[in-house]
A and B are shown apart, each in its own frame.
Chain A
Amino acid sequence: MYGEKVMDHFRNPRNVGEIENPDGIGHVGNPVCGDIMELYIKVRDSIIVDAKFRTLGCGAAIATSSMVTELVKGKSVEEALKISNRAVAEALGGLPPIKMHCSVLAEEALKSAIDNYLNK
């Protein structure tokens, strides 16, 4: 059902865990399937220098969490805000249509973490 890249990020998720004293935390849950995701970011001079996550969810939820943390690292906050759920799914080589909502969760977690940073 999943492509090679999704399975790779599911089996070997990047950036699992928490950041001590993060600059932004995003905590989102998807009421549709009950997945929960936490995303932590570290920001230096408006650049996201580190990102980590914790996720309770299916293969697609874990893979998109992993991919979104990879995508944001090194990006400016402004650039990171433009990362869409489609971009995350595309970076994974695509997701089954029924699993696209998992990528929405990843996008929301990122936006929520950045909001948290900007409102500090």
Chain B
Amino acid sequence: MDSYGLVDPDDVQKAITNKTILISVMHANNEVGTIEPIAEIGKIARERGIPFHTDAVQTVGHIPVDVNELGVDLLAMSAHKLYGPKGVGALYIRKGTRIAPLLHGGEQERRRRAGTENVAAIVGLGKAVEIAQREMGAEVERLTSLRDKLIEGLMGRIEHIRLNGHPTQRLPGNVNVSIEYVEGESMLLNLDLEGIAASTGSACSSSSLEPSHVLMAMGLSHELAHGSLRFSLGRKTNQEDIDRVIEVLPTVVARLRAMSPMLKGV
């Protein structure tokens, strides 16, 4: 991928060999929000006659998703990412795509997935999609505007900050920035004390003590991955929330930088 987290369709083309049985590219990245050129990759997959799968967990219910426009044969989604119940998801399978079941021993789902269906959860998934579909147009516009206000606000008030992910080809609800000379977990703790929830790609807050593999693959230095912060905007996020983050984060950063040996006196 490039420095925006975009997968280059040419790279996919080049990676195909006569042994390739499946292409899988996520629709949008969960950490940096970059929306991948799935339709272009779908064309390549079709030309080469290779089944194409996308993980659309981040996009279904948030931006328009059309399996024909995207040219995918398989598409995975999850209800809880669009305010539906936890523990239920769906796999779209284009007619004629052959899959082998992971769970055996029952006739359910035409023998593709054994086990009694969780009907209540499935109905919940359907309802969540229905509501998301109805509200999507206005919600995309609202969140994109809030997202860009948050990005601009932070960029304008904090020095040595950069946006991670693509500036426009990006999920409406994702803001991911790297702030130099500050560590992510120490920012999270301070934000949490102020009632603001965020996440970080810093090694310090991961159980493996490895920084985010996404940020590293995009070519970020350890230091920049260390100082990354992700904010997720959703249905309940409003202008007031955005204003508050823009007000609080610069003071948190200033306080931590005053303690940092890397940036004395700033």
Contacts and interface: CB of A to CB of B under 8 A. Distances in A.
Given A35-B204, A57-B204, A98-B209, A10 B262 contact: no
Contacts of A59: 185-186, 189
Given A58-B202, A98-B209, A36 B261 contact: yes
A19 to B, nearest CB: 13
**Chain A interface size range:** 20 to 34
B260 A34 contact: no
Contacts, number: 67
Interface in A57-85: 57-62
B261 A37 contact: yes
Given A56-B183, A58-B183, A62-B186, A32 B261 contact: no
Given A16-B258, A33-B203, A34-B203, A54 B264 contact: yes
Nearest to A102: B204
A58 B202 CA distance: 9
A55 interface: yes
B27 interface: no
Contacts of A32: 203, 209
Contacts of B186: 10, 57-59, 61-62
A16 B226 contact: no
A113 B76 CA distance: 55
Nearest to A65: B259
A94 interface: no
- Which DSSP category, helix, strand, loop or mixed, fits chain B's interface? helix
Nearest to A54: B261
B223 interface: yes
B189 A33 contact: no
Interface residues of B, number: 24
A13 interface: yes
Given A34-B222, A34-B223, A62-B186, A55 B259 contact: yes
B75 interface: no
- The listed residue with most A CB atoms (<10 A of its CB), out of B189, B205, B226, B264, is B189
B183 to A, nearest CB: 5
B120 interface: no
Interface in A1-58: 2, 7, 10-11, 13, 16, 18, 27, 32-38, 54-58
A33 B193 CA distance: 23
A55 B260 contact: yes
B182 interface: yes
B207 interface: yes
Contacts of A98: 207, 209
B73 to A, nearest CB: 41
Contacts of A18: 264
A60 B186 CA distance: 9
B181 interface: yes
A61 B209 contact: no
Q: Which 10 A-B pairs have the closest CB atoms?
A: A58-B204, A58-B185, A54-B261, A56-B260, A38-B261, A33-B203, A59-B189, A33-B204, A34-B226, A57-B183
8 contacts: A10-B189, A27-B261, A36-B261, A38-B261, A56-B261, A57-B183, A59-B185, A62-B259
Given A56-B181, A56-B183, A58-B202, 6 more contacts: A27-B261, A34-B204, A36-B262, A56-B182, A58-B204, A98-B207
Interface of B: 181-186, 189, 193, 202-205, 207, 209, 211, 222-223, 226, 258-262, 264
